[in-house]
Amino acid sequence: MDRALDNKALVERVIEICTRAGEAILDVYNSSAELQVDTKADDSPVTAADLAAHKVLAPALAQLIDGVPVLSEEQEMPSFGERSQWQRYWIVDPLDGTKEFIRRTGEFTVNVALVDKGEPVLGVVHVPVLDITYAGVKGAGAFKRSAGGEEEIRVRPLQPRLDAGAAVELVASRSHGAGAVDQLVERIESSLGSVACKNMGSSLKLCLVAEGAADLYPRLAPTCEWDTAAAQAVVEAAGGTVVDDQFQLLRYNTKDSLLNPFFYVIGDPSFDWRELLTK
């Protein structure tokens, strides 16, 4: 069996596992019982839905590839000494967008990525409320699957839209980093023209760039590696790129902390964003 078929079979298995995790989340989301919200050591919220999804994902992923460990937000973190020995591993956010889940906006996702030597090479982002799944594999492209079927997705070029007088479409967090993003919007407007900004929760922001529905997602507030790896794999498989604030490719498992640097999700890597974003 060639590598493409291997990847196709693997991504289908991951989608099936993520869909089951999404069903576990919806069981809590749609329950008439009052939602209990606890607070973790880092002050982030956690619910029964986060834990239910983790209980589906962790054991199922551990069985997919022999010897490939699972790193989930909802587990005790292995030391960097242990993690630094990993060549490949699954990184999981069982419920990305817990705050949106609590607010009942529907803007939350199940995120699973396979990381190989620091690079996310396969990613699945499942949106339980909408029953939509984004997936991407390095070298094999990206797609979006919904009740209406499956379509290949691709980032869009920016310059033709600028030439036509269209606005730069930027997507930003609903909850974090608004002041810094406002300053960036002013810089983009002074250089490129009008900017249309849409606010949204969870890794859906990266997926909008991947499917050509937005040009840029600046993340100028803290995130963790499990927040971004799956959607980064989708973005890169769709032809985009994700770079840190030094314009280096965002990479994983390179240090003790699991916090990401600030970063930019760029739909059109051929456009010269560097000078504008690194001022």
Would the annotation count 148 as a binding residue? no
Tokens of 7: 């990847």
Residue 30's contacts (CB-CB under 8 Å, 6 or more residues apart) are none
Would the annotation count 98 as a binding residue? yes
3-29 and 48-62 helices, crossing angle to 10°:
160
Would the annotation count 97 as a binding residue? yes
Would the annotation count 227 as a binding residue? yes
- Pairing verdict, β 88-96 and 70-72: parallel
Reported in sequence order, the residue ranges of 97-240 that DSSP labels E, i.e. its strands, are 109-116, 119-127, 132-137, 141-146, 149-153, 168-173, 195-200, 216-219
Would the annotation count 73 as a binding residue? yes
> Which CA distances in Å does 263 have to 1, 223, 259?
37, 10, 12
249 in Cβ contact with 233 (< 8 Å): no
Nearest to 113 by CA among 61, 74, 155, 77: 61
Reported in sequence order, the residue ranges of 48-194 that DSSP labels E, i.e. its strands, are 70-72, 88-96, 109-116, 119-127, 132-137, 141-146, 149-153, 168-173
**CA dist., res. 35 & res. 49, Å (int):** 9
Tokens of 179: 């002041």
Would the annotation count 241 as a binding residue? no
Binding residues for Mg(2+) are 73, 93, 95-96, 227
Binding residues for substrate are 73, 95-98, 227
Binding residues are 73, 93, 95-98, 227
